[in-house]
């Protein structure tokens, strides 16, 4: 099938590349010329494990192309995916990129197209996209608008696209339904389910999924405070709870709060969507509030270790991205931690395996070239992103390099008993 993907970000680039890998002819379009030039020169604009090889393979075999001009790709494609950003605008989803893409698509459509909204959008948006396309058509052309939200996780994006828990397609006509089934047939035949729904339900499934996951994280973070108060261990509590097959073990790890390009903005957007309809939002507001205070809770733990006044103190931070295996810094808990530490007078030296380039645009800190250089002369080490390479800690080396052996493990990756026995003053979350 001939496919155009509008937007070459974390979702669009992975979608386009995976669809090309399934044998489709794909053109990925982005208004960011620098990004397109990079991609045409084999340089990845984002870090995502396995993506470079897959892009190279499909690019070299001619199934995957990149351009900043959507005219030809739209004309030649049967299906056009919109995968542009929907960032937070005072809590609401900013849909301007989606509508702008819809107008651009309409202006060059000259035959039947299926327009697939992959971006995360509030219920009712696909219908507005349809209106926007209708208003901007140059000639009378038939088309369908389909909702197909994306559930991939950064860091596991290719696997998640190719082996998804489910594919959700909101559609209201047989022609578009058939085309969507054709696109996803190679994935469906490996046993992955496709759920066809009406369009509004599909739009809402995405927000509901992210809000549910955020809810679990805030629940466990709140519970971690009780664990500290009564002397329980949140890791054991989570394990015991997660072994219940009705609950499961994922997204119930206490830590520094959720971040990233989706959970914070999608929870806030869902709150706005509900408020606009006069509906109660107490649960979601609590989820959001607990998450904000959890980030500050991490700061209070640093103060517990090295005192309230941090002037003259050096804090080493391991991990900057909002989660391991990505360079995405959007709403990363490290941003709040570092800005608060700096307000309190601390000097911060940070290390992240892949996110330091993006972090440098947002933070004014010292960057170290490896984790051990970061802790040299530090009064405290904070682990804020649980990269695998931090798990096997050379304790003797870290202790000898630090000025004071204080560790705040905000992701609970070390064993408290072991750390204390080694002479660290060690704090973690809920243990
Ligand atoms: N990042 C994730 O993990 C993830 C997961 C699931 C869903 N989503 C959703 O997918 C959507 C995209 O997210 P992302 O993280 O890939 O965003 P992103 O910011 O990484 O990428 C968006 C891209 O769209 C381009 N763009 C904007 N307007 C354009 C236009 N008119 N024409 C062509 N290109 C245009 C931008 O230049 C940018 O490269 C969002 O709605 C997001 O909520 C993201």
Per-residue pLDDT reduced to its tens digit, 365-421? 999 999 999 999 999 999 999 999 999 999 999 999 999 999 999 999 999 999 999
**Cα of 148 from ligand 1 centre, angstroms:** 14
- Ligand 1, residue 101: give the atom nearest the CA: 31
What whole-number distance in Å separates Cα of residue 117 and Cα of residue 114? 10
Structure confidence at residue 148 as a pLDDT band (50, 70, 90): very high
CB-CB contact of 195 with 168 (8 Å): yes
- List of long-range contacts for 71-75, beta carbons under 8 Å, 24+ apart: 71/108, 72/27, 73/4, 73/27, 73/29, 74/4, 74/104, 74/105, 74/108, 74/109, 74/113, 75/108, 75/109, 75/110, 75/111
> Of 164, 197, 230, which marks where a domain is finished?
197
Q: Count the neighbouring beta carbons within 10 Å of the beta carbon of residue 111.
A: 13
- pTM for the full predicted model: 0.96
Per-residue pLDDT reduced to its tens digit, 117-133? 999 999 999 999 999 99
Task: Answer yes or no: do 164 and 250 share one domain.
Answer: no
The finding on whether 331 has its CB within 6 A of some atom of ligand 1 is no
Task: Answer yes or no: do 39 and 139 share one domain.
Answer: yes
Query: Is position 403 within any domain?
Result: yes
Task: List the residue whose alpha carbon is closest to atom 37 of ligand 1.
Answer: 32
Per-residue pLDDT reduced to its tens digit, 176-230? 999 999 999 999 999 999 999 999 999 999 999 999 999 999 999 999 999 999 9
Task: Answer yes or no: do 219 and 193 share one domain.
Answer: no
DSSP H or E segment with residue 102: helix 96-108
Task: Answer yes or no: do 192 and 229 share one domain.
Answer: no
Task: List the residue whose alpha carbon is closest to atom 21 of ligand 1.
Answer: 9
Tell me what pLDDT residue 131 has. Answer: 98
User: What range does the domain containing 176 cover?
Assistant: 2-197
Structure confidence at residue 134 as a pLDDT band (50, 70, 90): very high
Record the tokens describing residue 234, joined without a space: 């949140």
The CATH number covering residue 122 comes to 3.40.50.720
Query: Is position 203 within any domain?
Result: no
Q: What is the β-pairing status of strands 88-89 and 92-93?
A: antiparallel
Catalytic residues: 262
What whole-number distance in Å separates Cα of residue 52 and Cα of residue 415? 36
What whole-number distance in Å separates Cα of residue 351 and Cα of residue 369? 7
The finding on whether 12 has its CB within 6 A of some atom of ligand 1 is yes
Structure confidence at residue 345 as a pLDDT band (50, 70, 90): very high
The finding on whether 117 has its CB within 6 A of some atom of ligand 1 is no
The finding on whether 119 has its CB within 6 A of some atom of ligand 1 is yes
Query: Is position 321 within any domain?
Result: yes
Per-residue pLDDT reduced to its tens digit, 252-284? 999 999 999 999 999 999 999 999 999 999 999
Tell me what pLDDT residue 180 has. Answer: 98
Task: Answer yes or no: do 180 and 137 share one domain.
Answer: yes
How many domains are there within the chain?
A: 2
Task: Determine whether 91 is exposed, middle or buried from the number of CB atoms within 10 Å of its CB (0-12, 13-18, 19+).
Answer: middle
What whole-number distance in Å separates Cα of residue 384 and Cα of residue 257? 10
How many helices (H) and strands (E) are present in the chain, helices listed first?
Answer: 17, 16
């Amino acid at each position: 099938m001939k496919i155009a993907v509008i937007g070459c970000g974390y979702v669009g680039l992975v979608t386009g590349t995976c669809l090309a890998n399934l044998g489709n002819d794909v053109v990925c379009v982005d208004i960011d010329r620098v990004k397109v030039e990079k991609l045409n020169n084999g340089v990845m604009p984002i870090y995502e494990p396995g993506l470079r090889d897959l892009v190279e393979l499909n690019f070299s075999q001619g199934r995957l192309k990149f351009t900043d001009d959507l005219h030809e790709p739209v004309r030649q494609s049967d299906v056009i995916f919109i995968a542009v950003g929907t960032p937070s605008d005072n809590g609401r989803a900013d849909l301007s990129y989606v509508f702008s893409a819809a107008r651009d698509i309409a202006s060059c459509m000259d035959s039947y197209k299926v327009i697939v909204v992959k971006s995360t959008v509030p219920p009712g948006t696909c219908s507005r996209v349809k209106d926007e396309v209708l208003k901007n058509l140059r000639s009378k052309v038939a088309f369908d608008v389909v909702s197909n939200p994306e559930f991939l996780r950064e860091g596991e994006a290719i696997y998640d696209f190719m082996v998804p828990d489910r594919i959700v397609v909101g559609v209201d006509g047989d022609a578009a339904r058939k085309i969507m089934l054709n696109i996803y047939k190679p994935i469906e035949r490996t046993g992955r389910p496709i759920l066809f729904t009406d369009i509004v339900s599909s739009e809402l499934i995405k927000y509901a999924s992210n809000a549910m996951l955020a809810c679990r994280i805030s629940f466990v973070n709140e519970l971690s405070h009780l664990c500290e108060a009564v002397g329980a261990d949140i890791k054991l509590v989570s394990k015991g709870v997660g072994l219940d097959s009705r609950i499961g073990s994922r997204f119930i790890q206490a830590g520094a709060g959720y971040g990233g390009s989706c959970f914070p903005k999608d929870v806030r957007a869902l709150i706005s969507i509900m408020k606009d309809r006069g509906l109660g939002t107490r649960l979601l507001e609590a989820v959001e509030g607990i998450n904000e205070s959890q980030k500050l809770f991490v700061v209070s733990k640093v103060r517990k270790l090295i005192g309230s006044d941090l002037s003259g103190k050096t804090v080493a931070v391991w991990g900057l991205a909002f989660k391991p295996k990505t360079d995405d810094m959007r709403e990363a808990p490290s941003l709040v931690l570092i800005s608060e530490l700096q307000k309190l007078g601390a000097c911060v030296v940070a290390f992240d395996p892949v996110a330091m380039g993006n972090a440098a645009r947002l933070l004014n800190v010292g960057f170290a070239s490896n984790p051990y250089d970061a802790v040299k002369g530090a009064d405290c080490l904070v682990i804020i992103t649980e990269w695998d390479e931090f798990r096997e800690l050379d304790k003797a080396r870290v202790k000898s390099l630090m000025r004071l052996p204080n560790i705040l493990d905000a992701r609970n990756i070390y064993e408290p008993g072991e750390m204390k026995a080694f002479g660290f003053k060690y704090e973690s979350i809920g243990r």
